[in-house]
Structure 1
Amino acid sequence: MEKNTQNHTIETEIDTEVLTRVAQTFKILGDPTRIRILKLLSKEELSVNEIVERLDLKQSNVSQQLKSLKNVQLVKYRREGTTAYYTYDDDHVITTLEEMIDHVSHS
């Protein structure tokens, strides 16, 4: 909701498709492993194998989590030969994640 200059509340409409995508994104972020992966990718671009090593996870688990993150455009990748390198999709993703971590940490 927004306030106008006369201190009356104005309801801001949000498109149904946008609401659905926001809900899907939060659902995907509801998994601690996905949060760990995003946090790691906020620091640098990494391959699946590098993520596996750093987070001590199984390759199949990391691949599945990356697929879920990619489906809601939280991560993106580029290919170099046969290796895919992943990073976060944009700064909004990391800013939101960092703010939520800060919020929970200070509570």
Structure 2
Amino acid sequence: MRARDNVADANDLQKHTSGDTISVATTMLGMLADPTRLRLLAALVPGERDVTALTGVAGAARPAVSQHLGKLRLAGLVRVRREGRRQVYELAGPHVARLVTEVLRAAAGR
């Protein structure tokens, strides 16, 4: 893969600037604006985790973590599956991992 393959040019971006796409992107970015949700997403970058593990990472009460995870799921940023009585969460795809990683890198390099 060439380095240029990961860089969107102006033509690529123009394809993705319809009203619906911009609206969805704004919602996704809004989900990253909450510290608890960003911590949860960052904790999922290495792989899936259950709610108990995510509660420890977030430093918040389980009901609050569950609400945040529900919002992230509705925004299309995470997926959930049941494993017995546990709910296991994972990022919705590698694009979400890249988004979270890049926003954290940008913040660290400010």
TM score, norm. by length of structure 1: 0.84
Which of the numbers 7, 10, 14 marks the counterpart of 1:2?
10
Name the residue aligned to 1:91.
94
What displacement does 1:53 show?
Answer: 2.4
Same amino acid, percent of matched pairs: 25
Name the residue aligned to 2:105.
102
Q: What one-letter code is carried by the residue in structure 2 that aligns with 1:48?
A: V
What displacement does 1:104 show?
Answer: 1.7
More helix, by proportion: 2
Q: Which has the larger radius of gyration?
A: 1
Flag structure 1 segments of 5+ consecutive residues without an equivalent. 4-10
RMSD, matched Cα:
1.8
Name the residue aligned to 2:3.
none
Question: Which is further off, 32-41 or 77-86?
Answer: 77-86
What displacement does 1:54 show?
Answer: 3.2
What displacement does 1:29 show?
Answer: 1.1
Aligned residues: 100
Name the residue aligned to 1:35.
38
Larger relative contact order (CA 8 Å, sep ≥ 6): 2
TM score, norm. by length of structure 2: 0.82
What displacement does 1:103 show?
Answer: 1.4
What displacement does 1:101 show?
Answer: 1.2
* Alpha-carbon distance in structure 2 between the residues aligned to 1:79 and 1:65: 17
More strand, by proportion: 1
* Alpha-carbon distance in structure 1 between the residues aligned to 2:87 and 2:101: 25
What displacement does 1:50 show?
Answer: 1.6
Name the residue aligned to 1:12.
14
